[in-house]
Structures are given as C-alpha cells and as structure tokens.
Amino acid sequence: MIHRAVIGACMVTGVLLAAAAGCDAPEYAHTGEREGRYGYPVELRYETPDGWTIHATLSLSPRARRPLLIDIHMLQADRTYYPVRRETLEFCSVLVIDMRGHGDSLSYRGQTRSWETNEGNMYWGSFDDIRGGIRSVEKDHGAWVDTGKIFLEGNSYSCVLILQYFLAHPEGVRGLILMSPGDSYGQSVTQAYSTLLSSASPAPVFQVCSTGDYYCNNPVAVMENIWRTRMAAGASGALPLMKFVMEEGRVHGTHFLYTHRHRYPGTIIAWMKRVLGEPD
C-alpha cells in the first residue's frame, strides 16, 4: 500500500484539478437547477439492511447521463487511495466507497467494527454496501447519472468481490476493471472469473497486473489462458471485449494511477468507451 501521507497529497491534488475544471456545473434536466458540485465531492451516507453505516464520495461528471464508475477497496484501504482524475470525470461520474470496516465505515449497529475483527458479515455482506451506494446515487442524482451503465473497479483484494458481485447482481453492470487481481478472503479469483465466462451474459473484464507483482501475475496468466481457450472455441458476446495488460515493474493496484499517469486512467477510459460502443 502507498504511504497514507503520499496518497493524501495526491488525492488533494486530484480534487483541486477537478475543482479547477468545475466552472460549468451540470444541470438537472427535470428541474433546470444547477447541481453546482462538479469538481467538489458529494459525501454520501447510507445504512445497509444488516446494520452498517456506509460512507462514500460521489464526484459528478459535467456531462449529463454519463456512466457511473464505482471504485472499491478492501484490506486497510479507504477512499483516500483512489485519485479521481479530471479526464475520468469528463467521461463518467465516480463513486468511491469506504466498504464496511474500512475508512469511515466503521459503525455496525452502533458499535465500532473494523475489517480486522471480521465481524458483521464482513465479506459477503459487502454486496449490500455496493447496492446501497447505487441506490443512494439513483435517489439523489439519478436525473444526472446513468446508473444503467455501471463499471465496477476492484483493487487487489476487492477484485474477487466485484466478480462475485456481478454474478449475484448483474443489473446495470456493463463492465469490470480488475487492478492487480488475486485470491482474497479465501476466494479464488480464477474460479470467479471462469464462472463469469460461463454465465448467461458475462460482462467484459479489463485486467492489469505487473510482471514483478507475484500476488497477481500468475492468476492473471491463468485467467488469460482460460479466456483464450474460450475465444478459440468461438469469439462472441463479451469475449472479444476482454482485455489483459501486463506492465513491467512491481506496480500494484491504484499505484498504476500514480506511477503510470501517461496511460492510466486513459487506457481504461478507452476500453470503457469500446464496451459502450462510443467513439474513442
């Protein structure tokens, strides 16, 4: 994990860049009122059915009816680890969630709980953290954000989670982004990916890893081989939209967004446009 001080500084820089671009705030079509929050994070707070209080940050695109990118971290990481870039907001709105037991989401039925205690349905219950975030955006910003076009982005330990989330709740999810995917919480990422490929309507998946990252490079190689075998049997549906990227070095997770700024998030945005059939 990147040192919190470094991350904090980068996050502030990202927010200031977005704020500088936010002179023309979006307008809601149904009211004609200016939202006035483009470039300024909107804080969301909502309750899950099993008693967690979840905190999230929504950064709005200046463009109406754009897709929603949802970024998810687990294992110590929180919202400060994810930089919301100006070029990303020009394409879509971004929701970054502090999953249960992480960051500010430490309240479970009035008591403090962290991911280290592994209490309160920590893993599988996280599905409700994502669903609650989508509902919160729909409720307060549904006239501006297109929640029928959702991309889920997992980082390291959360990659398995978003694969399994899609298998359980595919509604509105148009694609998955796996940054340094590997096994976590006793769950196999290769098995989850194989199950996704065998599902009735698999979502396209973008995967990136680095050659020196031994947590993810073997699982990514296995998943790519599984995909190539399926492609050889017939390239149809989401299969041609699958993408695998192996970078040099030992970069991990959101580090790609800091150390490879000449390619990320631009490479991911180009892929999302391709998935949606939009011109690059």
Q: Which domains does the chain have, with CATH numbers?
A: 4-276 (3.40.50.1820)
Residue 9 is predicted with a pLDDT of 34
Residue 38 is predicted with a pLDDT of 59
Residue 37 is predicted with a pLDDT of 53
Residue 117 is predicted with a pLDDT of 75
The pLDDT > 70 percentage for the chain reads: 84
Residue 27 is predicted with a pLDDT of 38
pLDDT in tens, 122-149: 889 999 999 999 999 999 999 999 999 9
To which residue do tokens 């860049």 refer? 17
Q: Nearest 5 degrees, angle CA 79-CA 80-CA 84?
A: 85
pLDDT in tens, 98-115: 999 999 999 999 999 888
Rounded (10°) CA dihedral 147, 152, 158, 162: 80
73 has a pLDDT exceeding 50: yes
The 3-state DSSP class for residue 223 equals helix
Of 30 and 197, the structure prediction assigns the larger pLDDT to: 197
Handedness of CA 67, 58, 244, 169 (dihedral sign): negative
SS3 content of the chain, % helix, strand, coil (to 5): 35, 25, 40
The 3-state DSSP class for residue 232 equals helix
Average pLDDT of span 205-233 = 97
CA 45 – CA 199 distance, rounded (Å): 33
Of 30 and 93, the structure prediction assigns the larger pLDDT to: 93
pLDDT in tens, 175-188: 999 999 999 988 99
